[in-house]
Structure 1
Amino acid sequence: MPEYQTHKQEVVNTCHTLLERGYLKATEGNISARTSSAQTSGQNTFAITPSNYDYAKMQVDDICVLDFDMQSIEGEMKPSIESGMHAAVYQTRPDVHCIIHTHQPYASALALINMPIPALFDEQVRFLGRSVDIISYAPSGTGFLKNAVKAKVKNNNNAFILQNHGVLVFGVTMEQAIHNMALLEKCALTYLLALMTEKKVSKIPLPIREIAFAKLRADEKKFAEIKNI
């Protein structure tokens, strides 16, 4: 249907961009975009990558469109196994328009040692949140993971580490989601390097952290209000 074409193309373009930049490999991870809301169309839907399909071959017609009950709206392929997790985020966070889930190496290394990222940089807090928290392990594609994600993302941060799995990053636009994903990987790398020194890792002062986070929350609320008009 033409109404979903723009969002499906957006997902495909992001797949190819992240593949070229090395953040995606083969069939790992998944990407989605909110396509409509109940306030504007009477139905909540999102476009998401298909399951176990090579990103290098991804085309617009391969993208699936689902509603929040996991009913297929458009697409012939099997949707990502993590579709329920994406739907849970969209239901919980009206400010989130785009979701990227990858297995990018530096952040995934922290997923293996169960290490959250504290407030290290102003930019980090401004776009990702007060910290990058760990979401406890649950098997991929299960209701356990969906529920764990749904409970954690209520803190309004935009980046999370999935224990023994990978990362989950949000954006109000796909461009912002890509920016946040790259920022997360930068923070993960520098944090790992700092930890290797075995010296105390400094954090930004609490008042500055709260000012930066307040700006992030203001942006989120503004976007949520716009989407609900």
Structure 2
Amino acid sequence: MAKTLHDAKSVLVDRAERQMDRHFGDSALTTRQKLALTCRIAYDGGHDSGLAGQISSRGQEPGTYYTQRLGLGFDEITEDNLLLVNEDLEVLEGDGMPNPANRFHSWIYRERPDVNCIIHTHPLHAAALAMLEVPLMVSHMDTTPLYDDCAFLKEWPGVPVGNEEGEIISAALGDKRAILLAHHGQLVTGATIEEACTLALLIERAARLQLLAMAAGTIQPLDPKLAREAHDWTSTDRRSKANFAYYARKALRGHPDCVNGKVEL
């Protein structure tokens, strides 16, 4: 006999959240392993654009972060060839050089102590939407983690290798988790690598949905109250970890070389 068919929505939400807390915990993956997996996940998700784009995560020491080596594509990143750099992009661990465009990561990390991972890429649909100089419009329940959480920079500041671009991009991002950069691409942030990885895949899907919908008609907005409810429901730490574990299992089937040894997900 069913016991929950007359429970209020708030009761069911609370029950589901407690169940997720029990079933989806922290993984044993290291930061390097998570970052290497994120590079492969991004590659499989259409985020590769030659050598463009950077994925980074804070290091243990203040003012340091891990990122990929310039000259390697996302599909070539392993836990062993990642670099640890400081805010001046000086290499502290690893061989090679970081992408000079990583400079604006330093600015975001300084402005946003809540951010521990940054993913900046030029995926096809986000880049195409950026060419139109229109903001991302969230109008589907799957993309509500980005509802009122994606900023927009309409003026392209040029190649982001100077401190000026770091100031502009970090200021435009504000307190949002994501930003669409006109004539450029996308950037997402996360309190965890898992959160940022989930949002990176999601913003490209959102851009693709928007382009398809714009080609067919006029996009209709979501009810703000319901959209905010969906944003909060889909943006929990446990949900990000569950999403990441799924994406990582897929990536490992195609890219078992990105981490050393066997990992449990």
Given that 2:89 and 2:100 are in contact with CA atoms closer than 8 Å, whether structure 1 keeps it comes out as: no
Q: Please name the residue that 2:168 is paired with.
A: 148
Contact in 2 for aligned 1:134/1:160 (Cα 8 Å): yes
Q: Are 1:106 and 2:153 matched, yes or no? A: no
Query: Structure 1 residues 20, 210: CA separation in 2 closer, same or farther (over 3 Å shift)?
Result: closer
3-state DSSP of counterpart to 2:186: strand
Contact 2:45 2:201 in 1 (8 A): no
Give 1:22's aligned residue.
Answer: 46
Superposed CA offset, 1:178-222 (max 9, x none): 21112112211111112112x332111233344556678997xxx
RMSD (CA atoms): 2.6
Q: Which string of whole-angstrom CA distances, capped at 9 and with x for unpartnered residues, describes residues 58-105 of structure 1?
A: 333432212234343222211112221111111122222211111111
Inter-CA distance 47–17: structure 2 relative to 1 (3 Å threshold): same
Pair 1:50 & 2:74 matched: no
Task: State how far apart, in whole Å, the 1-side matches of 2:204 and 2:133 are.
Answer: 16
Which of 207, 210, 219 is the matching residue for 1:201?
Answer: 219
Q: Which moved more, 1:24-33 or 1:78-87?
A: 24-33
Q: Which residue of the partner structure matches residue 148 of structure 2?
A: 130
TM norm structure 2: 0.68
* Separation in structure 2 between the aligned mates of residue 144 and residue 107 of structure 1, nearest angstrom: 23
Question: What 5-or-longer segments of structure 2 have no aligned partner?
Answer: 1-28, 238-265
Local SS of the residue matching 1:60: coil
Question: How many angstroms apart in 2 are the aligned matches of 1:187 and 1:57?
Answer: 26
Equivalent position amino acid for 1:54 in 2: G
Matches within 5 A, 1:78-227: 78-125=97-144, 127-130=145-148, 132-135=150-153, 136-140=155-159, 141-154=161-174, 156-197=175-216, 199-211=217-229
| Counterpart contact for 2:151–2:173, Cα < 8 Å | no
Structure index of larger Rg:
2
TM-score normalized by the length of structure 1: 0.78
- In structure 2, what is the equivalent of residue 222 of structure 1? none
Q: For CA contacts below 8 A with separation 6 or more, give which structure has more relative contact order.
A: 2
* Structure 1 residues not aligned, in runs of 5+: 220-229
Identical counterparts, % of pairs: 25
Question: Aligned residues, how many?
Answer: 207
* Contact 2:42 2:74 (8 Å CA) reproduced: no
Judging changes above 3 Å, is the alpha-carbon distance between structure 1 residues 164 and 26 closer, same or farther for their aligned structure 2 residues? Answer: same
Measured in 1, the distance between the counterparts of 2:233 and 2:111 equals 20
